[in-house]
Structure 1
Amino acid sequence: MTLDLSELALYAGALAVLFLTPGPVWAALVARAVSGGYASAWPLALGVAVGDALWPLAAIFGVSALIALYADFLIWLRYAGALMLALIGLQIIRHARMIPGKDRALTRPGWRAGFLAGLMVILGNPKAILFYMGLLPGFFDMGNLTLLDIVAICVLSFAVPLSGNLVLAGLVGRAQRFLSSPNAVFRTNLVSGGLLVLVALGIALT
């Protein structure tokens, strides 16, 4: 294993920031939790976590193949990822007063429906796509990852979002009131958007 604890801790922190940013997963989780409680929401959280574990594999093996062809690809990809993350942060700040809505298709009963809904939400989430495909190379040396490194990355990608989403589902009563307050949503979006911009600057400058 070539990764040390500081690298994994930095990556876990970035995953936590990604989770704290309101987006499609938040809206889907709140919609299911409001309609069916925690029992309806946890399968969606599990589906999201499985998708979060699959994205690093796609990024690692896809980027590794490109590295073999283009020596400078990692450098350009790091800057592109930082730019994308900054744009997401600025977009959140721009629409800071927008309150996440609900989608009735996400509230169908049953654990299988919840799991598949979570998997589809994360696989089609542009925020997740940009994070894993654009920013993962900024955290790790993709060309030198061992099997244990890949397992550690996938475990973190699974565990961090799952933990956060399960907590959010468990506190859905408070979350529902919070998300219905325009002022609270505005402040949270400003903070989360600013954090994404800061993370982007950190990646670009290191």
Structure 2
Amino acid sequence: MTLMSILGFALAMFILTATPGPGVLAVVSQSLRAGFKSSIVMIAGIVTGDLFYLTFAIFGLSFIARSISPLFTLIRIAGGLYMIFIGVRAIVQKEPGELSEGNGRKGSSTYLSGLFLTLSNPKVVVFYCGFLPTFLDLETLRFSDGLIISALVMTILGTVMLLYAKLADYIRSLIRGPRSMRLINASAGGFMTAAGTLLVAKTVSR
């Protein structure tokens, strides 16, 4: 594995992560709704999902992902509809108090939301099982190379997502009062609904 291949992969990973998509929208929504700490849990789930597909690609198991493609299609649609449900519920919610840090969704539920969001994201599937081999020779990849790539994925993906979450949390901290908090709730619900709609639309259009 050469330095150029590592840099090429790192750049592609950064572009994939920084480009707004279902993952970014979900993290921003979570941070707006329940605060920065809650979004960290979701980001951990997202990173886990990416490492899952990275492992698939490194060990030459991308054919498994293709062979169970119908199952992933159902997961994508179900995940998208669930996100739309959460978003709509947040939009129509009348009690802004539910947005407080301590009243956010349970950690396990938030983590699983991030995990399944990544597992059902077509962009992530295509990147690891399709584009990754163009940057790296997976057949000659050593164990140490795999560790380096995994570290890059965790660092780049985690950092970019944390920046999005921190920005959303900063905006949240500037807005006070019941009316303003309801506005945040509606905005967060809009982000989540958009993420779910985007996920379902991409799945159906394939």
Flag whether TM exceeds 0.5 (same fold): yes
Contact residue 42 and residue 166 of structure 1 kept, 8 A: yes
* Number of the residue aligned with 1:170: 166
CA RMSD of aligned residues (A): 2.8
Q: TM-score normalised to the size of structure 2?
A: 0.61
Contact residue 7 and residue 139 of structure 1 kept, 8 A: yes
Contact residue 56 and residue 62 of structure 2 kept, 8 A: no
* Number of the residue aligned with 2:133: 137
- Give the deviation of 1:6 after TM superposition: 2.4
* Number of the residue aligned with 2:39: 41
* Number of the residue aligned with 1:16: 14
Cα-to-partner distance string for 1:20-73 (whole Å, 9 max, x where unaligned) = 11111012111111110101111001111111112111012225989xxxxxxx
Select 1:56's aligned residue among 54, 57, 80. Answer: 54
Cα-to-partner distance string for 1:108-157 (whole Å, 9 max, x where unaligned) = 61222211111110111000000100001000111111111111112212
Structure 2 unaligned residues grouped into runs of 5+: 65-82, 91-103, 173-183, 188-206
For 1:26 and 1:65, locate their aligned partners in 2 and report how far apart those are by CA, in whole Å. 28
For 1:175 and 1:137, locate their aligned partners in 2 and report how far apart those are by CA, in whole Å. 39
The residue identity in structure 2 corresponding to 1:9 is L
For 1:141 and 1:114, locate their aligned partners in 2 and report how far apart those are by CA, in whole Å. 35
* Identity value in percent: 30
Alpha-carbon spacing, 1:145–1:40, altered in 2? closer, same or farther (3 Å):
same
For 1:175 and 1:49, locate their aligned partners in 2 and report how far apart those are by CA, in whole Å. 24
* Number of the residue aligned with 1:4: 2
Select 1:119's aligned residue among 111, 115, 119. Answer: 115
* 1:84-95 mapped onto 2 (5 Å cutoff): none
The residue identity in structure 2 corresponding to 1:138 is T
The residue identity in structure 2 corresponding to 1:34 is L
The residue identity in structure 1 corresponding to 2:112 is L
Structure 1 unaligned residues grouped into runs of 5+: 67-100, 181-206
Select 2:155's aligned residue among 139, 155, 159. Answer: 159
For 1:120 and 1:41, locate their aligned partners in 2 and report how far apart those are by CA, in whole Å. 15
For 2:41 and 2:62, locate their aligned partners in 1 and report how far apart those are by CA, in whole Å. 32
Cα-to-partner distance string for 1:63-108 (whole Å, 9 max, x where unaligned) = 5989xxxxxxxxxxxxxxxxxxxxxxxxxxxxxxxxxx96517986
Name the SS for the 1:27 alignment partner.
helix
Select 1:104's aligned residue among 86, 91, 95. Answer: 86
Q: TM-score normalised to the size of structure 1?
A: 0.61
Report how many aligned residue pairs link the two structures.
Answer: 142
Moved more, 55-64 or 28-37: 55-64
